Amino acid sequence: MKKAISVCLVALAVAGLSPQMARADDQEVIEVGNENQQKSDSKPNQAARKVAPKPLTDNVKKGLEYLVKQQNDDGSWSQGEESQFMRAGGFKNGDLHNVADTCMAAMALVRAGNFPNKGTYASNVEKATDFVCSSIEQSDEDSLFITNVKGTRVQAKLGQYVDTFLASVFLPDVKGRMPTKKENERVANALNKVIHKIEKNQDKNGQWASAGWAPVHSQSLAMQGLNRAKQIGMKVDERSLERAEANAKRQFDSHSNKFSSAGAAGVDLYASGATIGSLQQAVVNGTRDRISYRKILTDSKASRSQLEEARAQLSRIDDTEKVQKQAVSAVTEKIKDKGFIAGFGCNGGEEFLSYMQISDTLLASNSKEWGDWDKKITSNINHVQNPDGSWMGQHCITSRTFCTAAALLTLMADRSAATQNIASKGDNDVN
């Protein structure tokens, strides 16, 4: 691996390219303006709602077309082609039909406005959902695995349970949007099973066991999945949510404005993106929960224990918002540094995933900050798109499926269900 990365960086240096974008010889350095972060409003995601989704660009359309062409007959995706540096390692599992890559590709299609019951690629998303649900249904009841497919590149880099965590993020996007009542019930049952697995296997410290090169992303995806499930009306254990939230807050030191490097392969970009991405979903739920707890405080019939619990929960919500606001502010400073944006030194799926986390969070927390970032990250990502519409990495997760999906998700951050704060039911629920 070290040899491959060295070759990557040397090749870039010889070519005179900036290391953060492998083909961006004349790219614009990502910088964010010095505007002060606006004071957050009490309404959830107010900044996100002010941003009208941009029309799909030609780059995005070409990327979506590429993904659709790569879908397997059973509705899944494989990892696709990866860089020569990674192929040199003798990896032979590239053709495995797997849940993680399928969820990433399907989420990109969903973000473009395609759901199982509507959209140009409705049938592709429906088939992908069927594949994911089938895998979940065939899995055991209690372990953290939802698939028998082992040894994929994404698992090796993000952790062996990444399929489970990505399924928890994907399924909320299609719940209530299947063509029939029976299919909607199937998605709900599959999601319930995934939630159970994630809750049951959570450690007391709020984390989940997860090996891999940069498992910080898996920890973040697991927390986001639970919070997204709650947002769409699924029953989620509040204790599990609070443990995950407390763990996420511990990953940011408010005194030094630094993020923990644990599980981030020593890459600040990964740690920062994963932390603010997970905390933002907790903030969304906290904003909603605050209304309920405040009602308890004004209820003359509330017991002493209920009042104490409400006050404690309101304090927790306020603290999480405070930590997230400071963490996001720290990231807006970091993204002025091209070394931070470079991540490990050149692109991998981990970089694209981090960009997505940052884009989604900046949009949800402060539209002005996000607008400047979005303009420049869009320019950079578009500049390194391959002629066939795909994106590819140069280290670790270099596969076209994952990198293309993550790049597209970043480019379409303004269309994210999570950042746009879609209500608990889809607008096309089948009764």
Higher pLDDT, 83 or 35: 83
The CB-side HSE value for 144 (13 A sphere, CA atoms) comes to 21
**Amino acid identity, residue 72?**
N
Quote the strand ranges of 199-334, DSSP E. Answer: 252-253, 258-259
Q: Where residue 186 falls among pLDDT bands split at 50, 70, 90?
A: very high
Angle CA 201–221–232, to nearest 5: 90
List domains and CATH numbers for the chain: 2-20+45-415 (1.50.10.20)
pLDDT at 142 > cutoff 80:
yes
Strand partners, 115: 118
Average pLDDT over every residue of 108-115: 96
Burial 150-178 (b: 16+ CB within 10 A, else e): eebbbbbbbbbbbbbbbbbbbbbbbbbbb
Quote the strand ranges of 150-274, DSSP E. Answer: 252-253, 258-259
- With a pLDDT cut of 90, the percent of the chain lying above it is 66
- pTM of the complete model: 0.85
Higher pLDDT, 14 or 331: 331
Q: Where residue 308 falls among pLDDT bands split at 50, 70, 90?
A: very high
Residue with tokens 């519409």: 389
Concatenated DSSP letters of 63-124: HHHHHHHH--TTS-B------HHHHTTT---TT--BHHHHHHHHHHHHHTT-BTTBSTTHHH
pLDDT for position 263 = 92
Least reliable range by pLDDT among 10-24, 150-164, 243-257, 400-414: 10-24
pLDDT at 329 > cutoff 70:
yes
Average pLDDT of the chain to the nearest whole number: 83
pLDDT at 72 > cutoff 60:
yes
pLDDT for position 305 = 97
pLDDT at 252 > cutoff 90:
yes
- With a pLDDT cut of 70, the percent of the chain lying above it is 79
